[in-house]
Amino acid sequence: MSHHLSPSKERRGTTGPGTAGSAAPRVAGEEDLGGILALAAQVEHWFGPMVEEPGFQKAVRAHLRAGTALIADGGAAADAPRGALLFDASPPTYHVDWLVVSEEARGRGVGRALLEDAYARFVRAPGTVEVVTFGADHPGAVASNARVFYERLGFTPAELTTPGPEGGSRQLYRRPVSGPLPGSAQRGG
């Protein structure tokens, strides 16, 4: 993974633009690894093993060091995180490498808040944001509502990609960087 941003103490632990309070997305630090792995455990039935997978842990740590991992806290220090995002901030083609929202927080705007924060922090026009999500025939496509989620945010389905480790189909979604996400209050990006 190649990243153009490096972590800084100034950005770490700060809330994103247009957000308030500890529940707003923030740049994740090494201390958030356990929470991110706990979120991964909630979706292993859709994606295959992650928590004990050295490659996944290595990728998470690389994003933590690069400052391109975001986390939405549960609101209180002891609460489990509500969501996390790993972002490849390499223009002109940006990638949502991984986005997960806890079962309890799904449908409450956490995924949107994480993507809005990533756009504000990392994305500059011109460019494209890409994400690989479930193929239309994957059971997780309906249960997670992922395809509908991305389409509501202006992403369009593109080509099918390599199946996931559990054998389920995957599809690339793209969104040109031409402005904020639909329904977003942010400007630019």
Domains identified in the chain and CATH numbers: 25-176 (3.40.630.30)
Which is nearest to 64 in space by CA: 109, 102, 26?
A: 26
Type of residue found at 70: L
- d(CA 102, CA 148) in angstroms, rounded, equals 17
Q: Digits of tens for pLDDT over the chain (189 positions)?
A: 332 222 222 233 334 443 333 468 999 999 999 999 999 999 998 888 899 999 999 999 999 999 999 999 875 545 789 999 999 999 999 999 999 999 899 889 999 999 999 999 999 999 999 999 999 998 888 888 899 999 999 999 999 999 988 788 999 999 999 866 777 665 444
Closest CA to 82 of 62, 49, 108: 108
Task: Look up residue 80 and give its two tokens.
Answer: 């489990």
Nearest to 43 by CA among 119, 117, 138, 129: 138
What value, to the nearest 5°, has the Cα angle with vertex 177 and ends 164 and 29? 60
User: Is 0.75 topped by the overall pTM?
Assistant: yes
